[in-house]
Amino acid sequence: MKDTYDVVVIGSGPAGATYARTIRTAAPNARILMVESGPAVTDPLGRHVRTISEPRERVAAQFASQGPAANPADYDEAVARALSPSRGRSSGLAARPGTWLLNPTPTSNGETGFQAAALSSNVGGMGIHWSGASPWPGIGERSTDLSDREFDSALDEARRLLLVTQHAFDHAPLGAEVRHLLGNHYDAGRRADRRVQPMPLAMEVQQTGERYWTGPGAMLGDLLVAADADGFELRAETTARRILTRNGDADGVLLYDRREDREYEVGARFVVVAADSLRSPQLLHASGIRPTALGHYLNEHTMTTSTIQLDPSLRAAAEGVRKTSEGAVDLLAGVSWIPFDERTFPFHGQITQWDASPIPVDASFEAWPGSVVECSLFMGKVDVRFEDRVEFDDDELDFFGMPAIRIHYTFTDNDQARLDQAVREAGRVGELLGSAINGLEPVVMPHGASLHYQGTTRFGTDDQTSTLDTRMRVWGTDNVYVGGNGTIPTPAACNPTLTNVALSVVGARNLAERI
Ligand code: FAD
């Protein structure tokens, strides 16, 4: 007889962790099984890699998350890079540590392509590799299909689960000065909560001053300690290959155990698919659950980044300030936020300060604490189109034995015009703060490089243009829920994880009530 669970959660990133945590709190007796394709790479499980101070151990965890690209030949080089203050930021197609490039089919039919699309596969998903920026969406970024009351309540819960704070760098050098300069230019006419401010970050600042970045392990908390005996179990290296259905509703999941190379079935009253924006539609497709909008409306944040040295006149303000980075994994000295404003600034501005240059500089370059600033502007896609989509090839299987992923994506003339505006705006931020290092123009990152893929399982009120209803349930099913960045229905410009977690709270609350 097959084992039956109240809920099977597929994927162990922030979205899966939110569902498991929220359901378990509301329904303490619920039996929950979480399955994860990738391996357990940290101890404790789901711990953020930035909290691992031993570089070799940290790099090993990153490598093990890289699925088919976990190539040990690069290991020594990766450790050396992890130890270097100059991280050698790539403007090309290199995958970020902990991720691997999907390498989707080459561009065809005049499409732009999505060359830098990347994924992570490990317990905790990208949530153990992320930078923790957790801004909330403003007017023009938020969907109007949920009431403000419901969405704001879910956002509050998301902040609590992710341990979001705006005080992580209160005593860092030059943060206030940077915000003052930017605020003078951007704050006029904005509501108080949409002015330049410290970036909300998912981390705990401990008594010692050390920063503990939030990973899904921190979100699951005692669920991991109580383990199986208490009705929650996490199975790593276990891929959900198909949701089993009867009369259109889920009644189990077909699982593949990679270590034992065997398939088996479990029963489920509810299934939660939280397998990222490309692989949640992949699993639904493989299961024959295919609403019209599934995989469509793909959009991401196209990014432009410039690296600036603060004006020397600010140097005096940094004198005597303790270096904030001592003992930390990197030389990060603070992050500020220029929020999206639909009238005047249709971008999300992320202003990161460093104690050393993240890009190569010559020997004469002199940095002082907090003086090197990376200004990244994210833009939401202007034209969100049905044609931009993730598709699956039933005749070719990927590394995990699932239908291979193909992406169709086109950056339109309207999108390009918005990007040109972003590049000009990034130049303006540079002028407000100092001067570009090496005289470099802002760099535009390749498509897919944001790692923030939205829309592919979006929610809404129309079953032809959305994949989920407003309870995050797949249209046409009664008991299949989805979590992830793909659920975000708008081309919001701000980083997606806080919104992803808030929408997962909406789905989990509904599911828990039904248990
Ligand atoms: P994921 O975290 O991707 O987890 C999905 C999991 O599902 C994966 O582990 C995968 O292996 C598993 N899975 C897939 N298919 C199956 C299957 N069939 N069966 C079982 N398991 C499966 N976001 C922000 O908002 N702010 C930031 O500052 C930020 N910085 C980032 C920096 C880096 C370097 C990276 C890599 C990401 C960053 N992100 C950031 C993105 C953020 O990490 C993601 O938005 C977030 O992790 C998404 O959570 P998720 O649970 O939806 O998906």
The DSSP code sequence of 205-239 is E-TTS-EEE--HHHHHTHHHHHTGGGTEEEESSEE
Share of the chain above pLDDT 90, in %: 77
Share of the chain above pLDDT 70, in %: 94
Alpha carbon distance 442, 233 (integer Å): 46
Alpha carbon distance 108, 124 (integer Å): 34
pLDDT of residue 322: 53
- On the question of pLDDT at 330 being above 60, the answer is no
Strand-pair partners of 458: none
pLDDT bracket for residue 366 (50, 70, 90): confident
Q: Which residues approach ligand 1 with their CB closer than 6 A?
A: 10-16, 35-38, 96, 98-99, 120-122, 125-127, 129-133, 239-240, 274-276, 279, 283, 451, 484-485, 495-497, 500
Per-residue DSSP letters for 384-424? Answer: --TTSEEEEEEEEE-TTSSEEEEEE----HHHHHHHHHHHH
pLDDT of residue 80: 79
- On the question of pLDDT at 134 being above 50, the answer is yes
Can you say how many angstroms the Cα of residue 362 is from the centroid of all Cα atoms in its chain? 33
Atom of ligand 1 nearest to the CA of 14: 51
> Average pLDDT, stretch 171-176?
87
Q: How far is the CA of 451 from the centre of ligand 1 (A)?
A: 8
Whether 452 sits among the annotated catalytic residues: the reply is: yes
HSE (side-chain half, CA atoms, 13 Å) at 466:
21
Q: Average pLDDT of the chain?
A: 92
Atom of ligand 1 nearest to the CA of 118: 36
Cβ atoms of 372 and 210 within 8 Å: the answer is no
Alpha carbon distance 429, 414 (integer Å): 23
Q: How far is the CA of 22 from the centre of ligand 1 (A)?
A: 18
Alpha carbon distance 185, 197 (integer Å): 13
The pairing of strands 238-246 and 372-379 is unpaired
Given ligand 1 and candidates 497, 499, 503, 504, which is best to mutate, with the most ligand atoms within 8 Å of its CB?
A: 497
The per-type count for the chain, helices as H runs and strands as E runs, is: 11, 23
Q: How far is the CA of 151 from the centre of ligand 1 (A)?
A: 22
- On the question of pLDDT at 429 being above 90, the answer is yes
Q: What is the per-residue pLDDT across 245-269, written as a single tens digit (0 to 9) for each? A: 999 899 999 999 999 999 999 999 9
Closest CA to 242 of 206, 274, 288, 207: 288
* 0.95 surpassed by complex ipTM: yes
- On the question of pLDDT at 88 being above 60, the answer is no
> Average pLDDT, stretch 446-475?
97
- On the question of pLDDT at 85 being above 60, the answer is no
The pairing of strands 4-10 and 32-35 is parallel
> Average pLDDT, stretch 109-133?
95
pLDDT of residue 86: 56
- On the question of pLDDT at 182 being above 90, the answer is yes
Q: What is the per-residue pLDDT across 58-84, written as a single tens digit (0 to 9) for each? A: 999 999 999 998 877 777 887 877 776
R_g (Cα) of the chain, nearest Å: 22
Largest CA distance in the chain: 74
Omega before residue 44 within 30° of 0, cis: yes
Q: What is the per-residue pLDDT across 300-315, written as a single tens digit (0 to 9) for each? A: 999 999 999 999 888 8
Atom 37 in ligand 1: residue holding the nearest Cα:
130
Q: How far is the CA of 508 from the centre of ligand 1 (A)?
A: 18
Q: What is the per-residue pLDDT across 353-363, written as a single tens digit (0 to 9) for each? A: 988 777 777 77
